[in-house]
Amino acid sequence: MSDVVTVEEAADGVALIVMADRAHKNTFTDDLVSGLGDAFRQVGSDERFRAAVLTGYGSYFCSGGTREALLDIQAGRATFVRDEGRPNVFALPLDCPVPVVSAMQGHAIGGGLAMGLFADFVILARESVYTANFMKYGFTPGFGSTLVFPAKLGPALGHELLLTARTFRGAELAARGVPFPVHPRGDVLPTALELARGLAEKPRRSLVTLKDRLVLGLRERLPRAIEEELAMHEITFHQPEVRELLMSRYGE
């Protein structure tokens, strides 16, 4: 496995995927993306696993795109979509055949929050920061965010996060009625593992079959959403103001 992503069997039938790229605060570096791809392939192909928990380290869940990658997109050298034949990291929880629990014990930013929301279950931390910060830098959202934020958070809150790029603590989202459990940070992973252990009591074939049905709509709509996001990026991402904002505001 990768040095920054590990997989272990945390309980009978439960895979625990841990992102711990401490040097880069779990941004989507090549190492993290490659490690996540390997981890989800392992979970998907290993018949022992009937559920998975995805988590980060310390106060970080996933911080989204690196500044270098975003500058490459701004300059027209890349897009947020992976090369053909390589999985899009943000959709790995959605594509995983078994149910995935996002234990977002730490901050989840931009594409990192989108990836967490693509899981089947989401658990947030009261102290942590959650933001769709794309518009903070002047470009429209990517990583499937325009689909998954309204789908999982509801249109009102989902649109507010996307349009305003506001930063919310988990406690604020709980007060806004977010439809996910929100716990103190130290309770997030234990709660997720307890949920996953309950899932893993069921037969894998039954879990896979039911998940396929429950996420069918999201899986079918995601390619169109990505196309529309890429089209918006052609309009918004290449503005000179975007480069200036990425250089001055990234990491604040």
Query: CA angle at residue 28 from 23 to 34, to 5 degrees?
Result: 100
Helix (H, G, I), strand (E, B) or coil at 66: coil
pTM of the prediction? 0.96
Q: What is the pLDDT along the chain (252 residues), one digit of tens a residue?
A: 679 999 999 999 999 999 999 999 999 999 999 999 999 999 999 999 999 999 999 999 999 999 999 999 999 999 999 766 567 999 999 999 999 999 999 999 999 999 999 999 999 999 999 999 999 999 999 999 999 999 999 999 999 999 999 999 999 999 999 999 999 999 999 999 999 999 999 999 999 999 999 999 999 999 999 999 999 999 999 999 999 999 999 887
Strand partners, 5: 19
Give pLDDT, residue 86: 65
Give the per-residue pLDDT at 84: 61
Task: Name the DSSP class of 179.
Answer: S
Q: Residue 252: what pLDDT?
A: 74
φ/ψ of residue 201, rounded to 5: -75, -15
List, in order of start, the domains of the chain with CATH numbers: 5-185 (3.90.226.10)
Name the residues annotated as catalytic.
233
Q: What is the pLDDT of residue 1?
A: 61
Q: How far is CA 157 from CA 103, 133, 141, 150, 160, in A?
A: 21, 14, 15, 7, 5
pLDDT on residue 49: 98
Spatial separation of the C-alpha atoms in residues 201 and 20, rounded to whole Å: 28
SS3 196: helix
Going by their DSSP bridges, the two strands 51-55 and 14-19 should be labelled as parallel
What pLDDT, on a 0 to 100 scale, did the predictor assign at position 85?
Answer: 59
